Amino acid sequence: MNSGRQILHALYLVIPTFWTANCTRSALLEASEHYLNAQKSGALQPLLTTDFTYVENNKSKELKSGVLDSSLTIAHNHTLLNALTRATYTELVIIDTKKQYLIGTQIHYTPDTDGALKISLIDAIVSRTGDWQFNATKSLSYIESEN
């Protein structure tokens, strides 16, 4: 019985270290900054794993057919980091004369062979012009007035 507890205790110490290896808050912050820069230029492909999954509005789809495959002029962004799960949540407000969006992206990362974090999953909720009560400009004004 005592050796079983020792094994369990050892697993509690090792497993969290294994899960968060190569994933510090600064590594996630750097990865999210790379994502934002790539989103501005429309060049996400170099940041993705080979088995990357894209979900937009709860539907799996090819990135090429989604909103995030194009360059976006980001008026506002806010990112939350979770080093334990190697994930971020990024809020984007896009105000452009041709395209306006409110986008919430949950992004999961996987360490590459060189230790850099690559995007393995983007799960995006996208609101756009034409959606019920959509107004990106008004949303941005509310966001900017928050403390």
How many domains does the chain fold into? 1
Q: How many Å apart are CA 45 and CA 56, to the nearest integer? A: 17
Tell me what pLDDT residue 20 has.
44
Tell me what pLDDT residue 12 has.
47
CB-CB neighbours of 145 under 10 Å = 7
pLDDT mean by block of 10 residues, the chain; 147 residues: 54 45 84 95 93 96 92 95 95 92 97 91 95 93 89
pTM value is 0.81
Q: How many Å apart are CA 72 and CA 94, to the nearest integer? A: 7
Q: How many Å apart are CA 32 and CA 87, to the nearest integer? A: 9
Range of the domain at 33: 2-145
Q: Are 49 and 109 in contact (CB under 8 A)?
A: no
Each residue's pLDDT tens digit, 38-78: 999 999 999 999 999 999 999 999 999 999 988 999 999 99
At 141, which CATH number?
A: 3.10.450.50
